[in-house]
Structure 1
Amino acid sequence: MNLSALQDGARERSLSILGGFHPVPSDDVPRASETILLLGPDEPAFWPAFRNSPEAEDGGADPMDRWSRRVIGGWAETLGARALFPFGGPPFLPFYSWALRSGRVHASPVQFLVHDTAGMMVSFRGALALTERIALPEPPPAPCDTCVERPCVTACPVGALTPAGYDVPACKSYLDTPAGSACLTGGCRVRTACPVSHRFGRLAAQSEYHMRQFKGA
C-alpha cells in the first residue's frame, strides 16, 4: 500500500487525500494508528457524485454526513483501517489540529484553514486511520507566506470575519439581506477571495449548499 494507490482509491470515490501525518503519543488518534490520511472532496467531481447519491435523494437529514459514513466507512473496511469523521459529536475529533499536523494546511490570517491546493475552500469529509506507516511527501510551503495582498483580511462585506475574530451572528444576519444573497449563492467572500481557492474548481452550487446549511444552523 502506498500513497499514490490510496489517492487513486480516494478519487474513485470522488474524494482526495488532502494531507496526512504520522501520529505521536500526544495526538488524539485511535490506538495502533501509524498514519492518518485526511479526506476531502475531489473537485469538481465530488458535487455531482454526491447529488446523484441515495443520501442526497432520499430526503433524510444530514445527507452529506451519511454519504461520508457510507463511502469512507466502506473504503476503510476494505483497507482494514478505521474511518474517522469531523461530525457526530460532541465530543468532536480534533480535525483542525490534525489538518495543521499534516503540514499542508495552515491557519490563514483570519484563522480559517487554508490548504496548498484547495485554498480556503478546504473541507474534510473524514479521515483514514491506518495501522501501516505510509510514506508521505514533504509538504510544500504555506501559500500565505507568499501572498502579499492578503485579500481574505478585507473581503467580508460586513467585516464579520477579520484577523480580530469571527462575528457569526453578523455573518448570518447579512445572509438574510438582499445584499447578502451574493454570499449565500456564491460562497463566503473571504474563502473565495483566496488566490488558491480560485484554482480549486469547487462548483458554485456546492458552495451555495454549504452556505444555506450554515445559515440554517
Structure 2
Amino acid sequence: MIAARGMIEEITAALGANGLILRGGIAFAASEEAPHGPSGAPARSVLLVGQAGAAPWPYFQRWREQQPQTIANPLDSWSRQVIGAVAQTFGARAVSPSDKPYQPFQQWGMQAEGLKPSPLGILMHPQYGLWHAYRGALLFEDDLSLEAVEPAIHLCDSCVDKPCLKACPVDAYSAQGFAYRSCLAHVRGAGGEPCRSGGCLDRNACPYGADFRYPPEVQVFHMAAFAGL
C-alpha cells in the first residue's frame, strides 16, 4: 500500500508537468472482464488521467507549435504522447478514449470519482462543474489497493431551472438524448457563429464550476474539432 501510494504521488508529479491530473482509479474485480495490461495479461487496476479547466492548454500549444500544421487530432496525439511516456516510466499500459476497442471511460469516471451524468451527458463534478475531461488512463497488472470512493454531491439534483437545457437554438439536448445531427448542422450553418466563436451555449449556461470554464480560444478549438471546421 505504501509503495503504491508513493508511485501514485510520482505519477501525479509527472502528469502535473504537463498540466494533467490523476482523476482517481478503480480496481477490477476478479470476475470482471478487464482490458489487458502492458504484458497482455488482464489489468487489475486503472488510474484515470485528465484535466480540470484548461490547465494543459499552454503545454499543448507549445507542443503543437513544433508539429506539422496538418497533423490530425492534435490534442489526442499530444495526450497519447504525454500519457504514454508516463505509462512507460511506471510500467503501465496507456489507453485513450478514442482508442478502439473503446474503453468505458465514463463508467470508470463514475466509479473512480463518484460522479453522475449531467443533462448534457457530461459528468458533473462538484468542483469543476462541466469543465473537465478524461484524456487517458493507465492500466496496471498490479493491485494498487485503491480505496472505494463515496458518491459525490450531484449538483444537478438541486438545480431547478436547468439552464443547460434552454440555451441551445436547436434544442440539441433533451430527455431523448443528444440530437447530434441537428447540433452539427446548426454549428456549420449560417446561424452557428455564436457556437463556433463561444462554444456550446448549453454547456456555458451551466452556473457551476465557473472558475474552471474553458477560455474562448479553447472552446473554439473544441467546437472546430467537433464540427470538422
TM-score, normalised with respect to structure 1: 0.86
Quick check: 2:22–2:50 contact (8 Å CA) kept in 1?
A: yes
Q: How does 1:31-180 map to 2 (within 5 A)?
A: 31-54=41-64, 57-59=67-69, 60-89=71-100, 91-130=101-140, 131-136=142-147, 138-139=149-150, 140-180=152-192
1:206: which partner in 2? 218
Q: How does 1:185-196 map to 2 (within 5 A)?
A: 185-196=197-208
Quick check: 1:56–1:63 contact (8 Å CA) kept in 2?
A: no
**Matched letter for residue 80 of structure 2:** R
> Percent identity, aligned pairs only?
31
Quick check: 1:56–1:64 contact (8 Å CA) kept in 2?
A: no
CA distance in 2, matches of 1:35, 1:55: 35
Q: What is the SS of the residue equivalent to 1:53?
A: helix
CA distance in 2, matches of 1:142, 1:4: 28
Q: What is the SS of the residue equivalent to 2:137?
A: strand
Relative to 1, partners in 2 of residues 1:118 and 1:49: Cα closer, same or farther, differing over 3 Å?
Answer: same
Relative to 1, partners in 2 of residues 1:181 and 1:136: Cα closer, same or farther, differing over 3 Å?
Answer: farther
Relative to 1, partners in 2 of residues 1:111 and 1:65: Cα closer, same or farther, differing over 3 Å?
Answer: closer
**Matched letter for residue 114 of structure 1:** M
Instruction: Name the larger-Rg structure.
Output: 2
**Matched letter for residue 7 of structure 1:** T
Q: Unmatched 5+ residue regions in structure 2?
A: none
Range that drifts further, 37-46 or 168-177:
37-46
Quick check: 1:83–1:126 contact (8 Å CA) kept in 2?
A: yes
Q: What is the SS of the residue equivalent to 1:61?
A: coil
Quick check: 1:84–1:126 contact (8 Å CA) kept in 2?
A: yes
What do the CA deviations read for 1:23-75 (whole angstroms, capped 9, x no partner)? Answer: 22335433453331211134333111101105763222221121111110000
Relative to 1, partners in 2 of residues 1:120 and 1:44: Cα closer, same or farther, differing over 3 Å?
Answer: closer
Q: Unmatched 5+ residue regions in structure 1?
A: none
**Matched letter for residue 32 of structure 2:** S
**Matched letter for residue 12 of structure 1:** A
Q: CA RMSD in A?
A: 2.4
Quick check: 1:19–1:104 contact (8 Å CA) kept in 2?
A: no
Q: What is the SS of the residue equivalent to 2:202?
A: helix
Relative to 1, partners in 2 of residues 1:108 and 1:42: Cα closer, same or farther, differing over 3 Å?
Answer: closer
2:193: which partner in 1? 181
1:6: which partner in 2? 11
Relative to 1, partners in 2 of residues 1:92 and 1:208: Cα closer, same or farther, differing over 3 Å?
Answer: same
Quick check: 1:111–1:163 contact (8 Å CA) kept in 2?
A: no
**Matched letter for residue 79 of structure 2:** S
CA distance in 2, matches of 1:110, 1:54: 30
CA distance in 1, matches of 2:146, 2:72: 38
